[in-house]
Amino acid sequence: MQFSDLDLDKTYSYADYLKWRFDERLELIKGKIFKMTPVPNRFHQDYTGFLYYSIYNFLKHQSCKVYIAPFDVRFPKESKSDKQVYTVLQPDICVICDLSKLDERGCIGAPDIVIEILSPGNSKKEMSNKFDVYQEHGVKEYWMVSPIEKNLVKYILHPDGLFYANRPFIEGNVLTTAVLPGFELKIEDIFNQD
């Protein structure tokens, strides 16, 4: 089977996703296929690597873990059965503190933090759908990093189940997070990788 053989109007599950062996990287959002952006540019890789490394070093000897794409995060609705999971995403970076969510195939359930580095190829529809998934499934913090604007917007999940954002973090600001007490990162350090 090739990617072109798929019916893009059909609804697919994680069980289907596991059978695919395409060159294209795919994600499922509510059963619909989204082709991931082609190989990210060098700056995307620089920013992703720096953020991952910073969090990884902070988490040494702590109970949370950080992962970098490709890493499947499955978002079950009612059942964790592969045939009943219709959303599978590969965030650029994710932090998981409830280690019972980890298995040999990735994470099943919401990470505590999801970080996405925006690329020119990210569609508004894709980003809107991911935002909705992360909010609906209870991701505590969603960080969107904009290389063009050189800022980071941190969405925090409130008790009403909705994300609210602080003003964008820009050069001169220090990023902290309630999920990882003690973690601090100067925003300009992210963008000084190029």
- What is the residue-level pLDDT of the chain in tens, covering all 194 positions? 677 788 888 999 999 999 988 777 889 999 998 877 665 678 888 999 999 999 999 999 899 999 999 999 999 998 999 999 999 999 999 999 999 999 999 999 999 999 999 887 676 767 889 999 999 999 999 999 998 899 999 999 999 999 999 899 999 999 999 999 999 999 999 998 65
Starting at the edge strand that comes first in sequence, how are the strands of the sheet with 93-96 ordered?
65-68, 93-96, 113-117, 141-146, 151-157, 163-165
Domain ranges (residues) in the chain: 42-71+89-191
pTM exceeds 0.85, yes or no: yes
Q: Does domain 42-71+89-191 have CATH number 3.40.50.10420?
A: no
